[in-house]
Amino acid sequence: MSDIKPKRVDIVSVAKAANVSPSTVSRYFNHPELVKLFTRRRIETAVRKQGYIRNRAAQTIHGIRSGTIGVIVPTLDHAIFAEVVQSFSDSVAEQGFTILLASHGYDQQREYAILRKMLEHRVDGIVLTGLDHDEAVFRLIDKQAVPTILMWNFADDSRYPSIGSDNIAAGSMIAEHVLSQGHRDIACMFPPTFGNDRAQARFFAVMQTLTEAGVSVPDHWQLTTIYSISDSKRDTLELLNRADRPTAIICGNDILATGALYGATAAGLRVPDDISITGIGDFKGSAEIEPALTTVRIPAKRIGHEAGLALSSAIINPGSPTTGRHCKPKLMIRSSSRPLNRE
């Protein structure tokens, strides 16, 4: 067995294989937007065949971009953020970036620790989910002067440019729809709102809209349920097995609404004939389940795409202004809700 180690592939080897200059290969990695598509493909083929890996640590020491963007989301347990993260990843990949993804489990202190580690790895940009974060997180970003986007929520006065939907508008929209169908006995099922400004905004808007319409939601009809189809099914079944039961349930997201549909069926009720159920989100599958879910669409793919373009531009063109963008929610009326039958 030979002890001779194979010669390490360097940038010159890649350049020769692709029939370009070493500076073009360097540009391909550091500023891919400046390299023609045909040339990028040739270099990529050479990199794959040569098995070339560049030294990121050495590059970042010299101030060269790492080509990595840190994305921090609350959870990876469900598909809530899958669409937006996938769309974001696809968008930045077109500009030569890859993502470093982590979740904090709705724990702001853990989010701070994750952010520190990402910045230690010299990521070129940061994406945070939502608008509400610990002041230490904002202070760290300010000190490091790293391009940052707040994704999923939108507000004109957000600390950093925000790209997402107005969750207050989404909550008002679904509550107004249920009220317009004649329902007055309405229950609400929301996830825990602590550390979750999306749920906070939606719950506030729903309750305010109902109150302004003269509808009061009894305490035992205000359900707090974690992001779980099984838990929301259980809580719905318990609610609907009571002597007094609502004619409609407004859920804070489509996962809870899906569980509520199963819970209603388990209680021997027909949706929407006996009870209307609505969600917020319009995630993959919400239109295909039976009955199809009435919900408010949060345009996840558009949010991810727009956020990816905005952050890539901020990294590639430092100093250029980055503005927030409101991707408006949209009411999707389907068969899980219907006008109240007063007969």
> Model-level pTM?
0.79
Three-state DSSP class for residue 116: helix
Burial class (CB in 10 A: 0-12, 13-18, 19+), 218: exposed
Q: Six-digit token pair at 104?
A: 């904090």
* Better-scored residue on pLDDT, 36 or 50: 36
342 pLDDT band, cuts 50/70/90, is low
- pLDDT score at 295: 98
308 pLDDT band, cuts 50/70/90, is very high
Task: Give the separation between CA 11 and CA 7, rounded to whole angstroms.
Answer: 13
Task: Answer whether residue 6 shows pLDDT above 60.
Answer: no
Task: Answer whether residue 84 shows pLDDT above 50.
Answer: yes
Judge whether 282 and 328 are in contact, CB under 8 Å. no
Percent of the chain with pLDDT over 90: 68
Task: Answer whether residue 62 shows pLDDT above 50.
Answer: no
The total of other beta-carbon atoms located within 10 Å of residue 199's CB is 23
Judge whether 151 and 129 are in contact, CB under 8 Å. yes
Task: Answer whether residue 81 shows pLDDT above 90.
Answer: no
* Better-scored residue on pLDDT, 106 or 60: 106
Give phi and psi for 202, each to the nearest 5.
-65, -45
Cα angle 243-290-77, degrees, rounded to a multiple of 5: 90
Q: Considering only CA atoms, which of 131, 171, 137 is closest in space to residue 154?
A: 131
Three-state DSSP class for residue 98: strand
Q: Six-digit token pair at 249?
A: 């349930």
Handedness of CA 203, 72, 105, 78 (dihedral sign): positive
| Amino acid, res. 222 | Q
Lowest model confidence (mean pLDDT) among 7-16, 48-57, 196-205, 289-298: 48-57
Longest C-alpha distance within the chain, in Å? 89
- pLDDT score at 73: 95
What is the DSSP pairing of strand 295-297 with strand 330-332? antiparallel
- pLDDT score at 29: 80
- pLDDT score at 136: 92
Q: Which domains does the chain have, with CATH numbers?
A: 11-54 (1.10.260), 68-165+299-327 (3.40.50.2300), 167-298 (3.40.50.2300)
Q: Considering only CA atoms, which of 193, 187, 251, 248 is closest in space to residue 219?
A: 187
What is the DSSP pairing of strand 330-332 with strand 125-129? unpaired
